[in-house]
Homo-oligomer: A and B are copies of this chain.
Amino acid sequence: MSATSPQPMFGTVAFIGIGLIGASLALAMKRHGMAGRILAAARRQETLDTALRLGIADDASTDIADVVKDADLVMVCTPVGVCGEVARAIAPFLKPGAIVSDVGSVKGAVIRDMKAALPPSVAFVPGHPLAGTEFSGPEAGFAELFEGRWCVLTPLPETPRAAVEIVAEMWRKAGSNVDTMDPEHHDQVLAITSHLPHLIAYTIVGTAVDLGTDIKQEVIKYSASGFRDFTRIAASDPVMWRDVFLNNRDAVLDVLQRFTEDLTALQRAIRRGEGDTLERHFTRTRAIRRGIIDAKQA
């Protein structure tokens, strides 16, 4: 089915949570004619008013039952910490044969929490689009967010293959490349590529803030020297990231431990004036940048 087909992929799509990711996907679905109707649920009426005003959803309600009962696809786009609670809330109202998917940055814990609540009559396709910005809320959403980015699906052994393929096709229409992966492996890869970088960026920006008011102004003024890139990352949604660290704890603590050991080794080299150790380390890391440029992810 092409993007210009008069028959959309889904009759009704329900978004539970309509922040940056949910709103962007809803807008991409609209642009590419993927949904007959898009409904949104959120805790706060204000969020839904914004989504309606911006044309992100066709209808919206704080009553989750209203939103999911006719849905062919339910996209759970909340912070990962409430995915289990959402699954329990929607379970009684889901249409048999519906597909339930999510966008959480952690897959093991989300699967554990949601799987227990969802009825066997629905197909659960856990997913994670590797895309985002430092902005949040529905007003931050844009249809192009997923273009050229990866989306990782981590289906369960019991997930019907056809449902996985439909969700994959949705992400491809939104412009993403789709991979499938074991949930545990996903969580390990993301711990190093995403979760640890965010934790470190949050930390260093906090360290700078604590240096005091006078130096803080200068940190802002001279941020282009490296610090700036960290502040962008450290401006990401606090609740989303709180939940990521709480729900991918073991993998994050493991890479954090490795990082700390490596940092301590460099600290020791600086203290002892061991220039060779520093130069050797700094030369090695250049190669990985080259790989990223070659993979067109730069």
Residues of A near any B CB (own CB < 8 A)? 81, 130-132, 134, 149-150, 152, 188-190, 192-211, 215-216, 218-236, 238-239, 241-243, 245-246, 249, 252-253, 255-256, 258-260, 262-263, 266-267, 270-271, 273, 275, 278-279, 281-292, 295, 297-298
Contacts and interface: CB of A to CB of B under 8 A. Distances in A.
Given A192-B207, A229-B232, A245-B270, A221 B263 contact: no
19 contacts: A193-B208, A194-B226, A194-B227, A196-B204, A200-B200, A202-B266, A207-B259, A209-B284, A210-B262, A216-B288, A223-B295, A228-B298, A238-B279, A241-B282, A242-B275, A242-B279, A246-B275, A249-B271, A256-B270
Given A204-B200, A228-B297, A297-B220, A253 B278 contact: no
Given A208-B192, A271-B249, A222 B150 contact: yes
Given A216-B291, A229-B229, 16 more contacts: A81-B275, A130-B224, A189-B218, A194-B222, A197-B229, A199-B263, A202-B266, A208-B288, A220-B297, A226-B233, A228-B298, A231-B289, A241-B278, A241-B282, A246-B270, A256-B270
Nearest to A222: B193
A24 to B, nearest CB: 15
A201 to B, nearest CB: 7
A223 B292 contact: yes
Q: Specify how many copies of this chain sit in the oligomer.
A: 2
Given A150-B222, A224-B130, A249 B229 contact: no
Contacts of A290: 235
A163 B95 CA distance: 79
Of listed A197, A220, A221, residue having the most chain B CB within 10 A: A197
Contact of A281 (B130, B202, B211, B219): B202
Nearest to A188: B215
B219 A189 contact: yes
A288 B192 contact: no
A189 B211 CA distance: 10
B220 A229 contact: no
Given A229-B229, A297-B224, A219 B204 contact: no
A194 B152 CA distance: 34
B271 A253 contact: yes
Contacts of A297: 220-224, 228
B262 A256 contact: no
A131 to B, nearest CB: 7
Contacts of A196: 204, 207
B292 A267 contact: no
A41 to B, nearest CB: 23
Nearest to A270: B245
Contacts of A256: 263, 267, 270
Nearest to A226: B197
